Structure 1
Amino acid sequence: MSFDSLAFRQVLGRFATGVTVVTTRDSVGANCGVTVNSFASVSLDPPLVLFCLDKAAMSFEAFSRTGQFAVNFLSADQHDLSIRFATAATDKWDGIAYDLWPSEIPVLKDCLANLGCRKEAVHEGGDHVIIVGRVEILSLDDDKGPLVYYQSGYRELGRSI
Structure 2
Amino acid sequence: MNTSSPRNTAQFDTVHFRQALSQFATGVTVITTRLADGSFRGLTASSFNSVSLDPPLVLWSLGSAANSMPIFSGNSHYVINVLSADQAHLAKLFSTRGQDPFGQVDYELSRTGQPVIKGCTAWFECHNRSRYPEGDHVIFVGEVEHCEFNPREPLVFHGGRLGGLHLPV
TM-score normalised by the chain length of structure 2: 0.89
The answer on whether the counterparts of 1:24 and 1:63 sit within 8 Å (CA) in structure 2 is yes
What is the distance in 2 between the residues matched to 1:10 and 1:132? 26
- 1:147 corresponds, among 145, 150, 155, to 155
Q: Which runs of 5+ in 1 are unaligned?
A: none
How far has the Cα of 1:136 moved from its partner?
0.6
- Structure 2 residue corresponding to 1:64, chosen from 51, 69, 73: 73
Contact map agreement 1:27 1:62 (CA 8 A) in 2: no
Q: Does 2:44 match 1:22? A: no
Please tell me the residue identity of whatever aligns with 2:119: D
Q: Distance in 1 between matches of 2:123 and 2:141?
A: 16
The alignment partner of 1:114 has SS state of: strand
Superposition deviation, residue 108 in structure 1: 0.5
Distance 1:88 1:22 in 2: 15
What whole-Å deviation, never above 9, does each CA across 1:29-88 have from its counterpart, x for those lacking one?
Answer: 210101000001000011000000112222211101101000000000000000011111
Which 4+ stretches in 1 moved above 4 angstroms? none
User: TM-score if structure 1 supplies the norm length?
Assistant: 0.93
Task: Say if 1:51 and 1:132, in contact at 8 Å, map to a contact too.
Answer: yes
Given that residues 27 and 65 in structure 1 are in contact (C-alpha distance below 8 angstroms), is that contact kept between their aligned partners in structure 2? no
1:43 maps to amino acid: S
Matched, 1:97 2:113: no
1:6-47 Cα distance to aligned partner (Å, 9 max, x none) = 111101101110000011022322101010000010000110
**3-state SS in 2 of match to 1:86:** coil
Correspondence 1:95-134 to 2 at 5 A? 95-134=104-143
Could you tell me how far apart the structure 2 residues matched to 1:94 and 1:4 are?
Answer: 40
| Stretch moving more, 112-121 or 25-34 | 25-34
Report if aligned partners of 2:88, 2:163 keep a CA contact under 8 Å in 1.
Answer: no
Identity over aligned pairs, percent: 43
Q: Is the 8 A contact 1:73 1:146 kept in 2?
A: yes
Gaps of 5+ in 2: 1-7
User: Per-residue deviation at 1:127?
Assistant: 1.4
Query: What CA distance in whole angstroms lies between the structure 2 residues aligned with 1:72 and 1:135?
Result: 12
Alignment partners' CA distance in 2, 1:60 and 1:27: 15
**Alignment root-mean-square deviation, CA:** 1.4
User: What is aligned with 1:135?
Assistant: 144
Corresponding position of 2:87: 78
Contact 2:77 2:127 in 1 (8 A): yes
